[in-house]
Copies of this chain bind each other. A is one copy, B any other.
């Protein structure tokens, strides 16, 4: 007997039929003797419908009031799922974020969970009920409704699992787990049955959109195992990916997966004075404009000047370029350039820590295909390169083959 927290996303509860299918699945888990807590998102399309209504009334409405409206999406789903469970004779009770209660700070639209009261849920579980909790939402200390931001339901699920000391947090989605890379780019991409939270963190932040990065961070911090499963497969023993702490991973492969991201743009400021304080002078106005910077690279300078390159989201490219041109002038820089037709490709794996030569193998493989590397950035378990966008698919396929991932494990 285990305590399991399950989370179902918008497409998994997108219609009355899908909600009934979720109820059947929850009932099966319950009948195996498990205690089950279910976190649900708004039905797919609902958040967009509410957003459109709000934008018609006031596109600049306060985040407090937007949260009041948005929180209704999940509230509808919890009631419907509870009724669907009752219809299959599986007693259930629903709670909004405010009822549980999931206490957050008051940063409307992007609130952070501070505390969860586990007592009422435990009492209901002891009474044999399935407990259904609205994802994505909470209340602040004054009782104002808050939301955690898009995709926050994953975070709710992991936070609840942590608060309840659950055995596993199951995230049901429309795919059956994490793959070595996007199968749309590399048809041979293989399913990963288990990987480390650290790897998932790198995979998620690099653009593998299976799990919200905040939820993975949360799970990482509190050592909560996450299992990613498909809600479209009725077989409860179907494929899944278990994301767990590194020491629990049986097989430590060198390269676990390949992540890529084509939403970035690159900006370079050349010939700036190579002295302390320059980086901050360049990046501060960018961050003041609420533009997030991803990769940052600065080469060792020559001639007492240096080149400074960073990437931003492609949507922020024009604004960032304008800001940089102002900075360029005040710093007496030689030149200011940029490119928004770039892509980032990363290899990820905890095994890299103990294996030298992974990066050089990567660089050689790309060079053999004539792919020029514009930027390089590395961490203990990741190597990222920025290349021309047109080479993205070729680079991903090449690396997938070189690291022998089609078989599901990597060679060295």
Q: Which residues on A are within 8 Å of B, measured CB to CB?
A: 16, 19-20, 50, 53-54, 56-58, 60-62, 64-69, 71-72, 75-76, 78-80, 82-84, 86-87, 93-94, 96, 98-99, 143-145
Contact = CB atoms under 8 A, between A and B. Distances in A.
Given A57-B80, A69-B80, 12 more contacts: A16-B56, A16-B57, A57-B84, A57-B87, A58-B84, A58-B86, A61-B82, A65-B86, A65-B94, A68-B78, A71-B75, A99-B145
Contact of A83 (B62, B83, B143): B62
Contacts of A56: 16
A123 to B, nearest CB: 11
Nearest to A20: B57
A66 B79 CA distance: 7
A57 B143 contact: no
B60 A80 contact: no
Contacts of A53: 16, 76, 80
B98 A83 contact: no
18 contacts: A19-B57, A50-B76, A53-B76, A53-B80, A54-B80, A57-B84, A57-B87, A58-B84, A58-B87, A60-B86, A61-B79, A62-B82, A64-B93, A65-B82, A68-B94, A69-B75, A71-B75, A75-B75
A311 B294 CA distance: 76
Given A71-B75, A143-B99, A66 B83 contact: yes
A57 B15 CA distance: 9
Number of identical monomers bound together in the oligomeric complex: 2
A16 B56 CA distance: 6
Q: Across chains A and B, which 3 residue pairs bring their CB atoms closest together, nearest first?
A: A61-B83, A69-B79, A16-B56
B99 A83 contact: no
Contacts of A20: 57
A72 B62 contact: no
Contacts of A60: 86-87
Contacts of A143: 99
Given A98-B98, A143-B99, A54 B83 contact: yes
Contacts of A68: 75, 78-79, 82, 94, 96
A96 B62 CA distance: 17
Contacts of A54: 79-80, 83
Contacts of A98: 98
A83 B65 contact: yes
Contact of A57 (B57, B67, B83): B83
Contacts of A65: 79-80, 82-83, 86, 94
